[in-house]
Amino acid sequence: MSQDPKIMSAALSRFQADRDARRNALEARRREVYRRAPRVEMIDRELTGTAARVIAAAFQQGGDPDAALKDLEKRNLALQRERSELLVGAGFPYDYIDETPQCPICSDRGWRKDDTPCRCLMAYYTREQNRRLSKILDLGNQSFDTFSFDWYSPEPWGNYCSPLENMESIREICGNYAHTFGPRSGNLLFTGAPGLGKTFLSACIAREVSDHGFSVVYDTAAHIFQQFESGKFGRENPYEEDPDREINRYLNCDLLIMDDVGTEMLTSFVQATFYRIVNDRLINRKKTLLSTNLDTRDLAARYGEAAASRIQGEYQILRFFGEDIRILKRG
């Protein structure tokens, strides 16, 4: 499972800001308590660092450090009882100023002992990733639970089954894909006319895969090719992201959702880049969802037989057909 460095950096900043805010709130509570019950501050100071002083003194005096520790334990327990009584007597909960980590696994560091992100930090990562995905996909209302079959006809579509039956099958495939996404998942090709639910289901998959902690990048084919072109020819735009970093995101994320494939201006560079994206991600076992209005023959004609062969051999092809839902809703 890989993480997008850019998103992880933003998630870590938010994580640290929230942690600092909790620490500042704790310090404010302590100042309030110390002002109203000064004896509590004296006890806290005495409890801090006494063990080292007692053991050092025992060694210097030739005494038994174990006995010194037992005396220290009794003393500390008495101080803790007094501290709790003082807090409650002043109108505070007994643990009002105790420093208790919010995460018991990493003690609010954000990282495990093996230097992998803790689940508490990954929760921030997921929220940050979904926030960015929501800028281009309507993740708020689009989920498998809200997907509606109401606009798909139950009547046969030419020599095919009905649009309704077809979409019930596609919805089940996409749901299973998102629910079980992982290193052994395959790749998907959505093909069909506009207005049939391809973007909606792309959003559903993006949301659920992201919620599972995987890195997800959604972008249009035209913008992806533009970033590769900027990286290739060194074109800099102060209003755009760093092209090299964006290229790495496209090639290395766990799931790349490439929308509107075939709507970009076709050049030899675009053809070569499309093959590179498809081929490199297959070699590196990274998963890709391509969404296009073109059929497989049009894809072969546009991007070449090599790219089309890789797609036909390594992608599950889901064909969308029926009437344009957007037109039906307006009508």
Strand partners, 188: 289, 316
Q: Pick the residue with more confidence: 181 or 134?
A: 181
216 residue type, one letter: V
Q: 168-207, pLDDT tens digit by residue?
A: 999 999 999 999 999 999 999 999 999 999 999 999 999 9
Residue 73: pLDDT band by 50, 70, 90 thresholds?
confident
Phi, psi of 187 (to 5 degrees): -120, 155
What does pLDDT average to over the chain? 88
Least trusted range by pLDDT, from 24-38, 124-138, 286-300: 124-138
Q: Which domains does the chain have, with CATH numbers?
A: 134-330 (3.40.50.300)
Residue 281's pLDDT is what?
96
Q: 22-61, pLDDT tens digit by residue?
A: 999 999 999 999 999 999 999 998 888 665 666 565 566 5
Closest among 254, 241, 261 to 311, alpha carbons compared: 261
**Contact indicator for 190, 290 with CB cutoff of 8 Å:** yes
Q: Give CA–CA dist 218/258, Å, rounded.
A: 6
Residue 72: pLDDT band by 50, 70, 90 thresholds?
confident
Average pLDDT over residues 315-324: 95
Residue 238: pLDDT band by 50, 70, 90 thresholds?
very low
Q: Output the pTM of the full model.
A: 0.76
Q: What percentage of the chain exceeds 70 in pLDDT?
A: 90
**Cβ-based neighbours of 8, under 8 Å, separated by 6 or more:** 117, 125
